[in-house]
């Protein structure tokens, strides 16, 4: 009897034609049956946005030349893609793994909140599906993913073999090839960091004002167990992520409040 190949759903936020998703699809095709549902245009920075009050379109795609790849492009967000994949494309078929990426650019630390890549993985985790978001710390549209694909494959195989706790997604960030050879893998916590934004006021050709956001990423964490430390020291970082945003340590304090409507 032939053993069934694992069913792997692939999505991303850079769009179905990006180099990153092509590299991920080709890698996942080595270990399982691949179905792709990805945005038809870039959706970076969309966070966990979903489409409400507007149409969602889903069309077959020929973006992948590899034989045996079932692929669809969606007009919506990465979270929309995973929802449509589960409830429409796959119907009664349950994915063994959902992978998102490989993103062009880091999604470490606080970036996980803004990331469309991770929103696809988190949406899968909400549905109780094992999920991984992969990101390469290189924002170039022509980024080279070749140095990390064996790591991507091995991490995916580890999840398929060992599983993940329910409602957990892995946030995997990978150093750029320009930073030198990868030293290994570190299981990390999310670093305490933030963006310091600057909004530059400009004027368009019609004389109307608009704003352009820029700024820098500031790591406020001195720990050596964080994703930022791992990346800065040549390691792939893996952070297990959930979606329960309750600040449990504040509950005892808030329960002491006395709020009266009298």
63 pLDDT band, cuts 50/70/90, is confident
Annotated binding residues for a divalent metal cation, written as ranges, equal 13-14, 44, 103
Q: Are 39 and 12 in contact (CB under 8 A)?
A: yes
Q: Which CATH superfamily is domain 7-191+224-254 in?
A: Survival protein SurE-like phosphatase/nucleotidase (3.40.1210.10)
Pairing relation of β-strands 235-241 and 169-174?
antiparallel
**Which pTM value belongs to this model?**
0.93
The predicted-structure confidence for 126-164, as pLDDT tens digits, reads as follows 999 999 999 999 998 889 999 999 999 999 999 999 999
pLDDT at 2: 55
| Pairwise CA distance, residues 200 & 188, whole Å | 35
pLDDT exceeds cutoff 70 at 59: yes
pLDDT at 67: 74
Annotated binding residues, written as ranges, equal 13-14, 44, 103
Domain range annotation of the chain: 7-191+224-254
């Amino acid at each position: 009897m032939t053993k069934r190949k694992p069913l792997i759903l692939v999505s991303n936020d850079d769009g179905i034609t990006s180099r990153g998703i092509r590299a991920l699809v080709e890698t996942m095709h080595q270990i399982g049956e691949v179905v792709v549902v990805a945005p038809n245009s870039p959706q970076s920075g969309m966070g966990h946005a979903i489409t409400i009050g507007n149409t969602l379109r889903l069309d077959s795609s020929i973006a992948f030349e590899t034989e045996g790849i079932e692929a669809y492009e969606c007009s919506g967000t990465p979270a929309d893609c995973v929802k449509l994949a589960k409830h429409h494309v796959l119907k009664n078929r349950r994915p063994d793994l959902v992978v998102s990426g490989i993103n062009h650019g880091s999604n470490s630390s606080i970036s996980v909140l803004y990331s469309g890549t991770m929103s696809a993985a988190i949406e899968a985790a909400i549905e109780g599906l094992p999920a991984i978001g992969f990101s390469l710390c290189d924002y170039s549209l022509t980024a080279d993913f070749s140095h990390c694909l064996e790591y991507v494959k091995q991490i995916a195989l580890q999840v398929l073999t060992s599983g993940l706790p329910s409602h957990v997604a892995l946030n995997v960030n990978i150093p750029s090839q320009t930073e030198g050879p990868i030293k290994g893998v570190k299981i990390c916590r999310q670093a305490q960091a933030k963006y310091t934004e600057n909004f530059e006021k400009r004027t368009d050709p019609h004389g109307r004002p608009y704003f352009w956001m820029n700024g820098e990423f500031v790591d406020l964490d001195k720990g050596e167990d964080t994703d930022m430390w791992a990346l800065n020291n040549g390691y792939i970082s893996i952070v297990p992520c959930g979606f329960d945003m309750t600040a449990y340590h504040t509950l005892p304090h808030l329960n002491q409040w006395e709020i009266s409507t009298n």
